[in-house]
Structure 1
Amino acid sequence: MDSKRNRKLGNKYLVLFILVITIWACKNEPELEIEQEETVSIKAPEPVIEFGFNLDNYTVKRDTIRNGDTFGVILERNNVGYPKIFNIAEKAKDTFDIARSLQVGKPYTLLCAKDSLETATCFIYQPNLEDYIVINFQDSIKAYRSKKPIKYIEKTATGIIEDNISLTLEAQGLSPRLAYKMADEIFAWTIDFRRLQKGDRFKVIYTDKYIDDTIYTGVDRVKAAYFEHNQEPFYAFEFMTDSTKGIMDYFNEEAKNLRRAFLKAPVKFSRISSRYNLRRRIAVYGYKVRPHKGTDFAAPIGTPIMATANGTVTKSERRGGNGNYVKIRHNATYETQYLHMRKRKAKVGQFVKQGDVIGWVGMTGNTGGPHVCYRFWKNGRQVDPFKQKLPEAKPISDSLKIQYLDFIEPIKFELDNINFKPQITAEEEMLETVIQQSNS
């Protein structure tokens, strides 16, 4: 009996031992790694938005206005019937004169239905890079003007003059408009830029303008500038003196206005082709004396013509040898006139600011080439503007002077702390390029 019971106990212990060993073995076995499927999420493409429309919803056709193109011709080509075209033009004319305002070479976009006919449902015209006109006739007819998104980026630049300011900026890949603003707008009456000295230097804080984040349209404005000419410092700070009329002027660190009341020229980047001359003789007229009481600025057709000073438009018309012209009264003493325009922009009674575009260079009236004849009156008599002691621009008021000095304090600090970049010669630049290439 005892031996039989002992065998049973032995079997029990054996089973228990095997069970313990099995459990221990299972615990110490390496865990099996379960492969997890990787989930890849496909991001939906961003919708293409332009002019306030989701372009993915349309067949988009882009083109430019060509000779012979009219609003009606364009829409007929794109399956819109004449009765509807007439209705669209009638309802849109208060916003945009479709018949007269389309210019050859300007871009337009058609949004068309996504069907077999691709019928046009919306016409978008761009007179310039920034503005656009929408004529939407998808359901009801709507016409409106709008602008593309604009971004302004503040930048700084410095330079040391070797030859002239334009070449100095060009060597750095900077806009020539920056040279124009400093030479013809800001320091025009303070520094003679035709007599710059080698070693003169400048620092400038300015704003670049971009449309749709990508289209660079040039320098928008200069916030502040410092020019050292013949070792003499000249500061300039932009400041709004009249918020109602939006008038900006440049003043130095002591609040003295740097401008004169008049710009030196009504067009940018031009040359004088004929000066004011009361004894002028012309071969065409048998060398008879035919006084020239204006100053001719030669420029390509379509160049913007600017008002040289603030004032009110007294005439805007086309007449005889003057062609299209605009006349502006600036005060009781001075008037200016701008002849031979291709097209006038300013209207009688309109107040214009210095630098506002009042028309475009053309060849209307008696003219042998594209230019603007700039005429200048003082006390009702035509005179040579380059021989006049022209008045300074309006000084800053006492009430604004304290505000101005507080305003420029941090800007001057920023300007003073911009370091001049050392000039690099062509040999040094070439050596630096070779070193960089060898290192890479």
Structure 2
Amino acid sequence: MKNIISLLFFSMLFFSCEKKEEKPMEIIEKTPVIIKEYGYAIKDYTVIKDTIRSGESFGIILDRHHVMYPTINKIATTIKDTFDVRRIRAGKPYTILASKDSTQKASVFIYKHDKINATIVDFADSTITAYRYQKPIKIVEKSISGKIFSSLSVAMDSLHINPGLTNTIADDIYPWTLDFYKLQKGDEFKLIYEEKYINDTVFAGYGAIKAAVFKHKNRNFYAFRYLADSTKGLIDYFDEEGDILRRQFLKSPIKFGSRISSSYNLKRRIKHYGYRIKPHKGTDFAAREGTPIMATANGVVTESTQRRGNGKYVKIKHNNTYETQYLHMRRQNVKKGQFVKQGDVIGWVGRTGSTEGRHVCYRFWKNGKQVDPFKQKLPAAKPLKKEVKVHYLAFIQSLKTTLDNIEITKTKSDSLEIIAQN
């Protein structure tokens, strides 16, 4: 019995000490991540990033990166219809993709127009190409609201909104229906707009303003962005009834940021003339010298000349009813007989003629008589067709509901009260 127990003990010891069979190790091969920029695998190049300096040209830059001038001339000639190398500007960033050998010779030139857009010039081999490149962007819808106690600019600045968005509101959406120089304390606004992001985090500017409403003098001024004609790609802003906001005439020949320094006044008294009544049949918009002056409507230039009191000026005939005139320019940008469109730059603010300050005197004729443009019921642009209007009213329904439900929380401040909603 004792022998049997000993045998069992040694058997157990033998099996417990037996080396266990190990499974073969599984090797997982990971695919290397290829980092690309502007469509190129960065690891294959020597990457040189720089900024164009004052006095530098396309040729100077490529020559510095070991491209011979005959090749540079060939590149410039080949791509001239796509990219005019003479138009590169100091201060713009660029990237050179060069070979990784000892020569580090450039083979790709990337000119960055902004954070999103670039022009790529590829001359790596015998084929020379140039094309526009746009970084993938993410569009994020945002909303803001506020109550104005000073001005729109101050309110938007306090929301940390770039002036570009403010100018779009004033110059592209409401220039026909709202006078932003006359907004009142307590006026309210709400916006639904887009922000652009690169790689989900880098802010790259604003997209479209999809909807807006301004409450001014207890009246709501709605604006909805809508593609009215898909065949022509015409996008405009319309109100809640489907009426177009755009009018035949702009309210001002100067973009948002100027001010009215003298209004139309037939009983104006001037100190320089002994306080005698001297009618002022124009509206003066004060602005810095060199500020662009725009045609307030489509028309044909009938005068572009200079006279003693008017200084350098332009006069435009819009149709058989309306004419406009723009005085005291530093320089004109149009000639007699030229057709101009609404918003075209026809000259620049100056102080030529009889004037004490830098401004443009804007004069307005109706049926041959000078009138105050701000007291005229100016014609609207072409309205929506009936069948399109039905689609439009259905399209804005959810937008209007979202807009109306944005709350304005009142938080008192010395100059305004605003609230941002994301």
Does the TM-score normalized on the shorter chain lie above 0.5? yes
Contact 1:255 1:404 in 2 (8 A): yes
The equivalent residue for 1:8 is: none
Once the two structures are superposed, the pairs formed by residues 340-379 of structure 1 within 5 Å of their partners are 358=344
What does residue 61 of structure 1 align with?
Answer: 48
Look up the equivalent residue of 2:119 and give its one-letter code.
I
- Cα distance, 1:48 vs. partner? 3.6
How many Å apart are 1:155 and its aligned residue? 0.7
Aligned partners of 1:362 and 1:371 also within 8 Å:
no
**Superposed CA offset, 1:165-204 (max 9, x none):** 3333333323344444444443444444444444433322
| C-alpha spacing 1:360/1:117, structure 2 compared with 1 (3 Å) | farther
* Matching of residues 314-393 of structure 1 within 5 Å: 358=344, 388-393=376-381
Residue 422 of structure 1: which of 406, 409, 415 is its match? Answer: 409
Match of 2:399 among 402, 411, 415: 411
The aligned residue for residue 76 of structure 1 is 63
Letter in 1 for 2:103: L
Of residues 225, 230, 235, the one that matches 2:212 is 225
State how far apart, in whole Å, the 1-side matches of 2:248 and 2:261 are.
23
* Gap change, CA 1:85 and 1:294, over 3 Å in 2: farther
| Distance in structure 2 (CA, Å) of the matches to 1:360 and 1:215 | 38
- 1:298 and 2:284 equivalent? no
1:402 maps to 390
Question: Closer, same or farther in 2 for the Cα pair 1:226/1:86, shift >3 Å?
Answer: closer
Query: Which range moves more in the overlay, 211-220 or 147-156?
Result: 211-220
1:120 to 96, 106, 109: 106
- Quote the sequence identity (%): 43
1:89 aligns to 2:76 (yes or no): yes
Task: Give the letter aligned to residue 152 of structure 1.
Answer: I
2-structure distance, mates of 1:363, 1:117: 53
Deviation at 1:66, TM superposition (A): 3.0
C-alpha change, 1:171 and 1:261, in structure 2 (3 Å) is: same
* Aligned match of 2:233: 246
Question: What TM-score do the two structures reach when normalised by structure 2?
Answer: 0.69
Which ranges in structure 2 are unaligned for 5 or more consecutive residues? 273-277, 308-312, 415-422
- After superposition, the Cα gap between the structure-2 partners of 1:329 and 1:113, relative to the gap in structure 1 and judged at 3 Å, is farther
- TM-score after normalising by structure 1: 0.67
**Residue among 250, 265, 271 paired with 1:263:** 250
2:224 paired residue number = 237
Aligned partner of residue 115 in structure 1, secondary structure: coil
Match of 2:275 in 1: none
1:102 aligns with 2:119: no
Deviation at 1:235, TM superposition (A): 2.6
Q: Give the Å deviation of 1:47.
A: 0.8
1:432 is aligned to: none
Aligned mates of 1:144, 1:373 — CA distance in 2: 45
Change (3 A) 1:369 1:239: same
Choose 1 or 2 for highest CA Rg. 1
Q: Using the alignment, how far apart are the partners of 2:402 and 2:34 within structure 1?
A: 40
Cα 1:198/1:56, change in 2 over 3 Å: same
* Larger RCO of the pair (alpha carbons < 8 Å, separation 6+): 2
Give yes or no for contact 2:293–2:348 (8 Å, CA) kept in 1.
no
What is the count of residue pairs matched by the alignment? Answer: 391
How far apart are the structure 1 equivalents of 2:213 and 2:256?
23
Counterparts of 2:332 and 2:198, CA distance in 1 = 28
Distance in 2 separating the partners of 1:46 and 1:218: 28
Q: Alpha carbon RMSD of aligned pairs, Å? A: 5.0
Q: Does the CA-based 8 Å contact 1:340-1:372 persist in structure 2?
A: no
Asked if the contact 1:241/1:247 (under 8 Å) is kept, the reply is yes
1:114 to 1:188, Cα distance in 2 relative to 1, 3 A: same
Pair 171,328 (structure 1): closer, same or farther in 2 beyond 3 Å:
same
**Between structures 1 and 2, the one with greater helix share:** 1
Question: What is residue 149 of structure 2 aligned with on the other side?
Answer: 162
Q: Which amino acid in the other structure matches residue 108 of structure 1?
A: Y
Once residues 327 and 57 of structure 1 are traced to their aligned partners in structure 2, the CA distance between those partners, rounded to angstroms, is 60
Note closer, same or farther for the CA distance 1:201–1:269 as it changes in structure 2 (3 Å cut).
Answer: closer
